[in-house]
Chains A and B, each alone.
Chain A
Amino acid sequence: MSSSKSTEARHQSPDVVSMHGARTQRISEHIVEIISDSGEGAQTAGQMFATVSAKMGNGVWTVEIIPAEIEPPARSIEGASGNRIRLCSGAVTNAGDAADVIIALNEQVLIGREAAGEFKQGAHILLENKWAQNKISNIVTAYNDAVGNFKAKGYRVHEIPMEEECRKFVDNPLRGKNIFVVGILSYIYSRDLDIARQEIAKKFKKKGEAIIESNLSLLDAGYHWAQHNLDLHFEIDSPGVTEPQVVMNGNAALALGTVASGMEVCAMYPITPATSASHFLSEIFEEVGGVVHQAEDEIAACAFAIGASYAGKCAVTITSGPGMALKTELMGLSVMGEIPLVLVDVQRGGPSTGLPTKVEQGDLLAAMFGVPGDAPKIIMAPATIEDCFYSIITARKIAETFRTLVVVLTDANLATGQQAFPRPAFKEEWLAPPVDQSPVPAGANPYDWDAATGLSVRRLPGQANGMFTLTGLAHTRQGTVAYGPGVNQEGCRHRSLKLAAFQKTLKTPEVFGDPEGDLLIVGWGSTRGAIEEAVMRTRADGLDVSSLHLKFLQPMASGIREILHRYKRVMTVEINYSDSLDDEIIDDDNRRYANLAWLLRARYLVDIDCWSNVHGQPMKPGAIESMIRSRLQ
């Protein structure tokens, strides 16, 4: 292999050190992708690199690259597993566009990513080169073909003898090659090796000193190898950390939010991509008196949460779209019986089993209208990982205050992405109040609906004088089953009024950009960072575009109507399916819109357009940017 020979040559070159200094490039941001077969540790390497960078004060956003199978075949295109890290000198709000540097443990995992447009034109590809000497000729051919193709497409391919180098330090290079990779990246991006060493010590603490030592030597080996053999060196402003921060993914934030909300019962059934929230919660919940109950199915999980809520503090159930579908009937019961409940839907691609590990925002209408009959509930969507933490606290509070179901819609992008945010300062007021066991005043009813707001006081078993039977059937203020013509109308009216009462507490969301203009982009959930970055980029070129992000989808705050009317055009950007007018048979009479666009059109009678896709990927700011440019031409 000619390239490995040239690597060899450079390895022996005495002036490589002075040479690379001259080649150092200053950058303000980069996207790095680490990919391998599943189980080779690319995700660990990515997280470690990201953590080191965050600790140096860089803005960081990571996205996990996850195959759908636990152990997909080795060296397969669809088996690509790893992590993508967007690294910035300043704050970062989204995953960004295409990768600048990709480091891969085999060539096959690169192919699908490249075809999906994940790599920047001319990006650096750092590739394990052991495959060139494989005994199986097909592998050698596949490797050479892929490398040839990448080079022909203009990528700068650096073939690296990773395993060979690792073998100098460890007996089994398959374990620990990922740390060698961290070493290479630490050199390339001028990372603080002390921090990297601490991360290694922390990561392998349970495995003992010997393992820590061998990984530290691999880190140094990777660093030195890159220093002597690669003319690839970047410097990025790393301002250091001035305020305490935490870095975690959205599911961990949901779990911590659950603890911080004072809820004590989380009932769930395993479903991707929601499950990891319960993993982390299971580790810590019992220490604060909580319980994660893995039920026999999604329905039982929701019933369990409702039962716990009926008899005590509000409970939470965490699921994804297919699970929410199964819980539908119980969601109706929560609404009808006015039993507080927080339901978190970590959205994935649908319909049906869809894209289990991929992102989509396709459940908004299902959350809103999925329950048969009139079932008003509150729906909110965190936009960031920090928001995932605080949203659970807020959701619990709303659920108990308004005796209602609160649906929190996050998605796979938030669930697995990692971001640093200011360390929350615990407040006692976040916690649920103790379970009320005081006697019920004489004459009080279980549903003493306030005439104006529909609100009534919760009643819990254990309260003397309060005995009543909660029912999902139509019922009176006394909780009695009744089918008279006025009864259901009354109940429905009061449950609906509660939403209006809650709506009065909401602030009008702030526009990002100008208060009026040519184009307003409306979004919700995890797309906020990407939309605002695209708006910022296009505004820098003088385009008159602004954006609006909605956290509460039901009810929607006052003032949105006025905002929408101040722009010549309004459109939503969402990760869900909508018809395109480019299709021949699609016209204004049959076009199906993106979730939020439907809602805004219906409520505000504005001719709102939408741009959405179901690629299963986080929305890229670059894609939104070019869409804006084409729309405003």
Chain B
Amino acid sequence: MFGLKSECVLKVDEEFHDLEEYQGRVARWCPGCGDNGILAATQRLCRDEQLPPEKTVFVSGIGCAARFPHYMGTYGFHGLHGRALPTAQGVKIRRPDLKVFVNMGDGDCCSIGTAHWIHAVRMNMNMVAMLHDNNIYGLTKNQVSPTTPKGMTTATTPHGSVLREMNPLTATLGITNVSFVAQAVEWVPDLLYQVIRAAYQHKGFAFVRILQRCPHFMPTLFDSLLSNPDNIMVLDSDDGVKLSEATAKVYKTREPHDTADLNLAREVAGTEGKVPVGILYRNASVPCYDELRKPARLHTPEQARTVLDRAFDRFGIFPGASGTRHGTGDETDRRTDA
């Protein structure tokens, strides 16, 4: 077969990871919960990208969305409310071989973990962060979230919420070093898959906000989008998502876009009345903290000994006549060179 060794063919075959390998425990979200669609798209992405399950880590905080890692067949870290991002950064800092994904709800990301969100964007470490935004606290049962539309009644705002909802897209696009921002809705699988895949392929911190239905507490929240797909504004650009023919027939509101234009992205993110979906901004040239801080040297026992000895020299007091030998900088410099 054109010189291809047969054992290679067999090996490729053996190592193929099928979809089942990325499936963990049976998801226990409510029937109709949008998280199910996000899970399916993510598992498909892992399969299509052939991510080794043992080299893939899903990190989450606390909330409905944060159960995500349990339903993946990869490694997972279901940690503390709001702290998914710094935990994921720690996972990544000395493990460039690991593919890291973060799944957060709107409470996790935009409320209790806000400081981490801002700094994660600025640090721009290689990972995909998915914001499952259902505009409500689900797991604690129906409290107002920072993204809950103004006027909504919730358990803690029985007369309607009084503050305007925050816009996670404009917030993210305002942060120094932002390198990838996209938005999707979980009920358009084609679009969702493409957005997540683009996020995965991005070098840097890829932030994806996914509008997600909560049929239990917010059953009518996205009615205007579901009943009138024209309210969804698909961003069109050469390097953007490519809708399938079937999807394109439904979502006819198209907006020409330039993903390299940060000001345009900010403008689009702030669009009132319509929901922009697709890739808003992408800049692969922003430096990544994990690469800036990657070790210049290997950690070896010999190197540890050298560094310690040099430090001990610096603080050192040596026996014998004073002045014959002492820890001057000169001496240590020579030693380094040697």
Q: Which of B25, B69, B75, B326 has the most CB of A within 10 A?
A: B75
A473: chain B residues within 8 A (beta carbon): 78
**Residue B249 at the A interface, CB < 8 A?**
no
Assess whether A291 is in contact with B326, with CB atoms less than 8 Å apart: no
Assess whether B317 is in contact with A307, with CB atoms less than 8 Å apart: no
Assess whether B319 is in contact with A265, with CB atoms less than 8 Å apart: no
Known contacts A304-B89, A305-B90; is-contact A461 B95 (Cβ 8 Å): yes
Contact with A along B323-335 (1 / 0, CB 8 A): 1001111000000
A246: chain B residues within 8 A (beta carbon): 312, 315-317
Cross-interface CB contact of B119 among A262, A267, A300, A431, cutoff 8 Å: A300
Known contacts A293-B293, A311-B95; is-contact A426 B315 (Cβ 8 Å): no
B304: chain A residues within 8 A (beta carbon): 259-260, 262, 288, 426, 431
Chain B: which residue is nearest A245 at the CB level?
B317
B78: chain A residues within 8 A (beta carbon): 469-473, 481
Assess whether B311 is in contact with A256, with CB atoms less than 8 Å apart: yes
**Residue A161 at the B interface, CB < 8 A?**
no
Interface-side segment among A25-33, A116-124, A128-136, A194-202: A194-202
**Residue A601 at the B interface, CB < 8 A?**
no
A330: chain B residues within 8 A (beta carbon): 80, 83
Contact with A along B299-331 (1 / 0, CB 8 A): 101011111111110011111101100111100
Assess whether A461 is in contact with B299, with CB atoms less than 8 Å apart: no
B18: chain A residues within 8 A (beta carbon): none
**Residue A284 at the B interface, CB < 8 A?**
yes
**Residue B74 at the A interface, CB < 8 A?**
yes
Interface residues on A, range: 35 or more
**Residue B53 at the A interface, CB < 8 A?**
yes
Assess whether A472 is in contact with B80, with CB atoms less than 8 Å apart: yes
Known contacts A54-B317, A307-B77, A311-B57; is-contact A291 B94 (Cβ 8 Å): yes
Q: How far is the CA of A281 from the CA of B24 in the complex (A)?
A: 41
Assess whether B80 is in contact with A311, with CB atoms less than 8 Å apart: no
**Residue A287 at the B interface, CB < 8 A?**
yes
How far in angstroms is the closest Cβ of chain A from B224?
Answer: 36
B73: chain A residues within 8 A (beta carbon): 467
Chain A: which residue is nearest B316 at the CB level?
A246
**Residue B91 at the A interface, CB < 8 A?**
yes
Q: How far is the CA of A205 from the CA of B97 in the complex (A)?
A: 43
Number of B interface residues at 8 Å Cβ cutoff, please give it. Answer: 66
Main secondary structure of the interface of B (DSSP, over half): mixed
Cross-interface CB contact of B91 among A202, A245, A267, A308, cutoff 8 Å: A308
B115: chain A residues within 8 A (beta carbon): 296-297, 300
How far in angstroms is the closest Cβ of chain A from B107?
Answer: 15
Assess whether B76 is in contact with A470, with CB atoms less than 8 Å apart: yes
**Residue B40 at the A interface, CB < 8 A?**
no
Chain B: which residue is nearest A471 at the CB level?
B78
Assess whether A287 is in contact with B317, with CB atoms less than 8 Å apart: no
Assess whether A296 is in contact with B297, with CB atoms less than 8 Å apart: no
How far in angstroms is the closest Cβ of chain B from A483?
Answer: 13
**Residue A101 at the B interface, CB < 8 A?**
no
Q: How far is the CA of A96 from the CA of B306 in the complex (A)?
A: 36
Assess whether B322 is in contact with A304, with CB atoms less than 8 Å apart: no
Q: Which of B299, B315, B323 has the most CB of A within 10 A?
A: B315
Q: Which of A195, A202, A431, A461 has the most CB of B within 10 A?
A: A461
Assess whether B322 is in contact with A56, with CB atoms less than 8 Å apart: yes
A171: chain B residues within 8 A (beta carbon): none
Known contacts A192-B322, A311-B98; is-contact A291 B93 (Cβ 8 Å): yes
Known contacts A307-B59, A330-B83, A431-B304; is-contact A291 B293 (Cβ 8 Å): yes
Interface-side segment among A235-243, A486-494, A535-543: A235-243
Assess whether B77 is in contact with A469, with CB atoms less than 8 Å apart: yes
Assess whether A284 is in contact with B94, with CB atoms less than 8 Å apart: no
Known contacts A252-B315, A468-B76, A470-B77; is-contact A307 B295 (Cβ 8 Å): no
B25: chain A residues within 8 A (beta carbon): 480
A55: chain B residues within 8 A (beta carbon): 317, 322, 326
Known contacts A297-B115, A311-B91, A470-B76; is-contact A244 B322 (Cβ 8 Å): no
Q: How far is the CA of A330 from the CA of B88 in the complex (A)?
A: 14
Assess whether B57 is in contact with A461, with CB atoms less than 8 Å apart: yes
Chain A: which residue is nearest B320 at the CB level?
A241
Contact with B along A290-324 (1 / 0, CB 8 A): 11010111011101111111111101000000000
Contact with A along B136-163 (1 / 0, CB 8 A): 0000000000000000000000000000
Assess whether B86 is in contact with A300, with CB atoms less than 8 Å apart: yes
**Residue A15 at the B interface, CB < 8 A?**
no
Assess whether B90 is in contact with A315, with CB atoms less than 8 Å apart: yes
Q: How far is the CA of A330 from the CA of B305 in the complex (A)?
A: 33
Known contacts A55-B317, A265-B94, A303-B79; is-contact A290 B87 (Cβ 8 Å): no
Chain B: which residue is nearest A313 at the CB level?
B94
Known contacts A246-B312, A310-B91, A311-B95; is-contact A462 B80 (Cβ 8 Å): no
Assess whether A304 is in contact with B93, with CB atoms less than 8 Å apart: yes
Assess whether B76 is in contact with A287, with CB atoms less than 8 Å apart: no
Assess whether A286 is in contact with B329, with CB atoms less than 8 Å apart: no
**Residue B203 at the A interface, CB < 8 A?**
no
Q: How far is the CA of A355 from the CA of B305 in the complex (A)?
A: 38
Q: How far is the CA of A423 from the CA of B90 in the complex (A)?
A: 33
Assess whether B94 is in contact with A240, with CB atoms less than 8 Å apart: no
**Residue B55 at the A interface, CB < 8 A?**
yes
How far in angstroms is the closest Cβ of chain A from B110?
Answer: 16
Assess whether A194 is in contact with B322, with CB atoms less than 8 Å apart: yes
Cross-interface CB contact of A195 among B55, B83, B323, B329, cutoff 8 Å: B323
Which residues of B in the span 53-78 have a Cβ within 8 Å of any Cβ on A?
Answer: 53-55, 57-59, 69-70, 72-78
Q: Which of B74, B77, B86, B119 has the most CB of A within 10 A?
A: B86
**Residue A555 at the B interface, CB < 8 A?**
no
**Residue A420 at the B interface, CB < 8 A?**
yes
Cross-interface CB contact of A462 among B89, B98, B315, cutoff 8 Å: B98
Cross-interface CB contact of B308 among A259, A304, A305, A306, cutoff 8 Å: A259
A248: chain B residues within 8 A (beta carbon): 315
A241-B320, A308-B90, A311-B92 provided; 10 other pairs, C-beta below 8 A?
A: A55-B326, A202-B326, A241-B317, A243-B319, A259-B308, A303-B86, A306-B79, A337-B79, A431-B304, A472-B79
A-to-B contact residues, CB < 8 Å: 54-56, 192, 194-195, 198, 201-202, 205, 240-248, 252, 256, 259-260, 262, 264-265, 267, 284, 286-291, 293, 295-297, 299-301, 303-313, 315, 329-330, 333, 337, 420, 423-424, 426, 428, 431, 461-473, 480-481
CB-based closest 8 A-B pairs: A307-B90, A469-B76, A289-B299, A303-B86, A289-B295, A300-B86, A308-B90, A304-B90
22 of the cross-chain contacts (CB-CB < 8 Å) are: A241-B317, A241-B319, A244-B318, A247-B317, A259-B304, A259-B308, A265-B93, A289-B303, A297-B115, A300-B116, A301-B86, A307-B93, A310-B90, A330-B80, A337-B79, A461-B54, A464-B54, A467-B53, A467-B54, A469-B69, A470-B78, A473-B78
